[in-house]
Amino acid sequence: MTAHGVSDDDLRRRYAQVFDAVAEEYDRERRGYPDELIDAACAYGGVSSEDRVVEVGCGTGLLTASLAARGLVVDAVDPGANMLRLAERRVGPGAAVRFHHGRFEQVALPERAFAAVFSATAFHWIEPAVGWARAADLLAPGGTLALLQHCDVLDSSTVADWRALNAALVKVAPEIGERWPELRDADTILDGAATRSDNISAVWSWIGRHELTVPAAARLFTDVRVLAVPLHSEYTGDQINAYLRTTSLYRRLEPDQRPALEDENLRVAERLGGVVRTSELAVLVTGRRSLP
């Protein structure tokens, strides 16, 4: 249970679907993942053209399109009808993609039928007691689980900008901002992942700072590996706010806090010379389905 008397699973179900209300904005503002990581995931598992794969939480199809372009046969799952509409538009009519409207925990898919299960910035919305086992059930023995996400990192060139944005959040919504976790540098993130590599769910929890660790996942997946690509970006105040409106953080704010935070972000960007600089890692975590 959370401090507010709402279960973590209830929160996952609620926030996993808020993005559907801002699907167009999400599609416009969210970035995809480096081809280097997608290629690495495929190479790790020997996944190649015409192999069947599942994508968990496909959203507006950023990863879906990349998988389809590699000739993979994709079953893409998402709970948002608007998200799926945009994903279908992105991949086009000729792609070997079948879309499923529903939660990954509930959509009917054949077991032991897939070479890989992919998920980008979505697996933390899946109920951990179900998600890891469900992914394992869908994979053929030796199949690949490939998880991707972006995470902010401590970098001397951008840390002042991050702290200015965090100070704006603390000012407007101290109940959220004061509890926001401090940045970690890339070495801390990757070293911490390495020490947890006997359990893919522990690795994923560490990287994303989510409570997703399930002891049984250590038996389900082996050969856990982590690959990261550093990303450095610049955003105007308007771009920061456009991205903010596509996040679960924005939905957690009270209605009067939302415009207040946007105004503070614009002031931050102005003080920083018109742009806010950010440092991230695009991270890939792979694991191999244990043999029976």
User: What's the domain range around 97?
Assistant: 8-153+184-230+282-289
Residue 7 has pLDDT above 50, yes or no: no
Token pair recorded at residue 183: 């940045």
Residue 157 has pLDDT above 90, yes or no: yes
Average pLDDT of every residue of the chain: 94
- Report the SS3 class of residue 57: coil
Q: What is the domain count for the chain?
A: 1
Residue 6 has pLDDT above 60, yes or no: no
Tens digit of each residue's pLDDT (9 = 90 or more) over 21-47: 899 999 999 999 999 999 999 999 999
Task: Give 200's DSSP letter.
Answer: H
Residue 192 has pLDDT above 90, yes or no: yes
Among 91, 84, 87, 98, smallest CA distance to 52 is for: 98
Least reliable range by pLDDT among 17-21, 115-119, 135-139: 17-21
Per-residue pLDDT, averaged over 176-187, amounts to 96
Parallel/antiparallel/unpaired status of strands 276-289 and 221-235:
antiparallel
Report d(CA 248, CA 17) in Å as an integer: 10
Q: For residue 160, is it within any domain? A: no
Q: What is the CATH number of the domain that holds 108?
A: 3.40.50.150
Tens digit of each residue's pLDDT (9 = 90 or more) over 55-65: 999 999 999 99
Token pair recorded at residue 1: 């249970």
Q: For residue 255, is it within any domain? A: no
The predicted structure's pLDDT at residue 2: 27
Per-residue pLDDT, averaged over 4-23, amounts to 60
Report d(CA 217, CA 129) in Å as an integer: 10
Tens digit of each residue's pLDDT (9 = 90 or more) over 111-129: 999 999 999 999 999 999 9
Tens digit of each residue's pLDDT (9 = 90 or more) over 252-285: 999 999 999 999 999 999 999 999 999 999 999 9
Report d(CA 135, CA 61) in Å as an integer: 20
Q: What are phi and psi of 108, to 5 degrees?
A: -80, 120
Q: For residue 270, is it within any domain? A: no
Count of Cβ atoms closer than 10 Å to residue 92 Cβ: 11
Q: For residue 256, is it within any domain? A: no
Among 76, 79, 71, smallest CA distance to 103 is for: 79
- Report the SS3 class of residue 198: coil
Where residue 224 falls (left for φ over 0; alpha for ψ -120 to 50; beta otherwise) is beta
Q: What is the amino acid identity at position 279?
A: S
Q: For residue 159, is it within any domain? A: no
Residue 76 has pLDDT above 50, yes or no: yes
Task: Name the band, by pLDDT with cuts 50, 70 and 90, for residue 15.
Answer: low
The predicted structure's pLDDT at residue 13: 53
The predicted structure's pLDDT at residue 18: 78
Token pair recorded at residue 77: 């799952």
Which has more confidence, 248 or 51? 51
Report d(CA 149, CA 204) in Å as an integer: 10
Report d(CA 155, CA 160) in Å as an integer: 9
Express as a percent the part of the chain with pLDDT over 90: 91
Residue 72 has pLDDT above 80, yes or no: yes
Q: For residue 88, is it within any domain? A: yes
Tens digit of each residue's pLDDT (9 = 90 or more) over 201-235: 999 999 999 999 999 999 999 999 999 999 999 99
Q: For residue 141, is it within any domain? A: yes
The predicted structure's pLDDT at residue 262: 99
Residue 3 has pLDDT above 50, yes or no: no
Residue 5 has pLDDT above 70, yes or no: no
Q: For residue 36, is it within any domain? A: yes
- Report the SS3 class of residue 119: strand
The rounded Cα 250 to chain-centroid distance in angstroms is 16
Residue 291 has pLDDT above 90, yes or no: no
Q: Which helix (H) or strand (E) holds 172?
A: helix 159-172
Report d(CA 30, CA 50) in Å as an integer: 28
